[in-house]
Amino acid sequence: MKSLNPFDKFNVQSIPLHGDISILSAAHEPEYFPHREEQIEKMVNSMRGLMMGMKTNHLLIYGKTGTGKTSVTKYVASKLNEKMDGNLVISYINCQAYDSPYSIMVNIAKKIPGAENIPVSGWPLDRIYDELVIAMSKSGIPVVVILDEIDKLVEKNGGDSLYMILKLLDENAGIRGNVVGITNDTSFYEKLDSRIKSRLNRDSVIFHPYNTEQLKDILIPRISSILGPEQYEEAAINLCAAIGAQEHGDARKAIDLMRISIELAMLESASVVEREYVYRARDKLDSDILRDTVITLPTHAKLVLFSVIMSRQIHPNSATTGEVGLYYEKICFIAGYTPLTSRRVSDYISDLEDYGIISTMLKSLGRYGRTRLINITAREEDIKNFILEDLDLEKLRSVNFSLQQKFE
C-alpha cells in the first residue's frame, strides 16, 4: 500500500491564507519608504555632486535599530546609480563582519574594474592600496563606500581602516567618491581622533524612531499585497505597530511580528490573522532572539552567564560579582577550561548587561567597598538550555544547581 505523503496536510489549495510573504522578510528592499522623505531628500542633496563630476561631503547616518537607515541608504545609492546609467561603484560593507583594513580594502577592490583579482590574503596592505589607486584612477568611475555599523570598525582597530578609505577617496587625482557611515551611536563623531575628523567633512542625517501610526503606514501596504482585507484583523496590525513602537520605534520588529503571525495562521489553516497570532508571534520572536544571542556568545561569556544562573539559583535574591567569580572558576574546572582573570569576567558581565540578558546594580558594602548585584532579566531555564546546546559545554549537564555544597 502506498504511504501517505506527510506534506499533504500543507496542500496550498487547502490553506485559506497563502501569498508571497517574502515581502515581510529582511531581504526585501522596498521602493517606497513612508515617513523617510526628509532623510532621502537630505541624502540626495549630499550625494548629487557625484553625478556632476564634483567632490562631495561624506555622510554619517544616525538612528536606532529598525529605523530604516540601511534600507534607505541602499535605496538612495541604487537610484543614484540608475541616474548615472550604472556608472557608479557601490561597495556595501557590514563592519561587524569586515573590520580590518585588509578586509575592507579587498571588499572595495571586488567592485572596482581592474582590481577584481586582488587576493583575499597574502599581499601587503600598501600594495593593495597602490593597486586600488591605479585601478580607480584608470576607470574614473565614482565610488560610494557604505560602512554599516561604522562604529564597530573604529572600535576594533582605532580608525585605521576608516582613515585609509578617506585617504584613498580624498587624496588621489582622478578618484571621486564618498563614505556613507551608518551607526546607532549618536556620539560616534565625537569619539573619532583628530586625524580622522580633519578628513571627514561630512553631512549628517538622523533617522528618528517610528511611532505607532507611522509603523501602521509601513505595515499596511505590505500586508495588502499579500492578503485581502477580509483576511486580517486591523487590530492585529495595530498590535504589531504598537509593539514595534514600544521597541524604540523598530520597524523591523513590527514587520517580523506580522510575518510570523501570518506564518502561524497559515500553519493552522486559519482564514483570518487575528490578534492572538500576534501575541504568539511575539513570544516566538523573543525566544528566537534570546536563543540567537546566547548561542553566539563566546565560550567564556557562556561560562560566566552559566555561573550567574547557578549563583542566582543558590542565592535567589541576587548574585554578587564575587560569588559569580567563585562559581565561574568551579564551572571552568568542570567544563575543562582555564579561568580568565577577574577583570575579563567583569568585562563579560558588562557585555551580558549590554545584551539585555542580565542587569546589575552597584551596592555599597561600607568599609568593605562596593560590589555589583546581578539579576537575570530573561528566562533562566531557557538560557541554561541554550548554553547547553554548545557541545563543547556538554559536561555542564551534570551540574546540580540545588546542591550548593558541591561547589564549595
pLDDT in tens, 277-327: 999 999 888 877 788 889 989 899 999 999 998 887 777 666 788 888 889
Residue 19 domain-assigned (yes or no) = no
- What 3 state SS string does the chain have? CCCCCCCHHHCHHHCCCCCCHHHHCCCCCCCCCCCCHHHHHHHHHHHHHHHHCCCCCEEEEEECCCCCHHHHHHHHHHHHHHHCCCCCEEEEEECCCCCCHHHHHHHHHCCCCCCCCCCCCCCCHHHHHHHHHHHHHHHCCCEEEEEECHHHHHHHHCCHHHHHHHHHHHCCCCCCEEEEEEECCCCHHHHCCHHHHCCCCEEEEEECCCCHHHHHHHHHHHHHCCCCHHHECHHHHHHHHHHHHHCCCCHHHHHHHHHHHHHHHHHCCCCCECHHHHHHHHHHHHHHHHHHHHHCCCHHHHHHHHHHHHHHHHCCCCEEHHHHHHHHHHHHHHHCCCCCCHHHHHHHHHHHHHCCCEEEEEEECHHHCEEEEEEECCCHHHHHHHHCCCHHHHHHHHCCCCCHHHHC
| Residue 303: predicted pLDDT | 94
Single out the residue in 288, 306, 321 at which a domain terminates.
288
| Residue 321: predicted pLDDT | 83
241/250 Cα distance (integer angstroms)? 9
CA-based nearest residue to 185, from 165, 157, 155? 155
| Residue 367: predicted pLDDT | 65
Q: Are residues 302 and 357 in the same domain?
A: yes
Single out the residue in 234, 253, 288 at which a domain terminates.
288
Residue 256 domain-assigned (yes or no) = yes
47/71 Cα distance (integer angstroms)? 16
Q: Does the pLDDT at position 12 exceed 70?
A: no
Q: Does the pLDDT at position 171 exceed 90?
A: no
Q: Are residues 180 and 71 in the same domain?
A: yes
Q: Does the pLDDT at position 408 exceed 50?
A: no
Q: Are residues 190 and 229 in the same domain?
A: no
pLDDT in tens, 335-389: 999 999 888 888 888 888 888 888 888 776 666 566 778 888 777 888 898 999 8
Range name among 203-207, 214-218, 279-283, 372-376 with the lowest pLDDT average = 372-376
Number of domains composing the chain: 3
Q: Are residues 402 and 305 in the same domain?
A: yes
Q: Does the pLDDT at position 406 exceed 50?
A: no
Question: Which CATH number belongs to the domain containing residue 351 in this structure?
Answer: 1.10.10.10
Cell of 206: 538622523
Q: Are residues 133 and 231 in the same domain?
A: no
Residue 314 domain-assigned (yes or no) = yes
Place of cell 559545554: 393
The percent of residues above 90 in pLDDT, for the chain, comes to 36
Residue with the bigger pLDDT between 408 and 234: it is 234
Q: Are residues 248 and 335 in the same domain?
A: no
| Residue 10: predicted pLDDT | 57
29/364 Cα distance (integer angstroms)? 51
pLDDT in tens, 29-45: 888 999 999 999 999 99
Q: Are residues 262 and 303 in the same domain?
A: no
Residue 26 domain-assigned (yes or no) = no
Single out the residue in 254, 288, 322 at which a domain terminates.
288
Q: Are residues 214 and 203 in the same domain?
A: no
Residue 222 belongs to domain spanning: 210-288
According to DSSP, the β-strands at 319-320 and 143-148 are unpaired
| Residue 240: predicted pLDDT | 94
Q: Are residues 192 and 102 in the same domain?
A: yes
User: For the sheet containing 202-207, what is the strand order?
Assistant: 89-94, 143-148, 177-183, 58-63, 202-207
| Residue 337: predicted pLDDT | 92
Residue 233 domain-assigned (yes or no) = yes
pTM comes to 0.73
Q: Are residues 258 and 327 in the same domain?
A: no
Q: Are residues 203 and 214 in the same domain?
A: no
Q: Are residues 189 and 239 in the same domain?
A: no
Average pLDDT, the chain: 86
CA-based nearest residue to 256, from 9, 13, 26? 26
When pLDDT is cut at 50, 70 and 90, the band that residue 71 belongs to is: very high
| Residue 405: predicted pLDDT | 44
Cell of 12: 496550498
Q: Does the pLDDT at position 329 exceed 70?
A: yes
Residue 61 domain-assigned (yes or no) = yes
Residue 360 domain-assigned (yes or no) = yes
Residue 225 domain-assigned (yes or no) = yes
Place of cell 592600496: 129
Question: Which CATH number belongs to the domain containing residue 86 in this structure?
Answer: 3.40.50.300
Tell me the one-letter amino acid at 232: Y
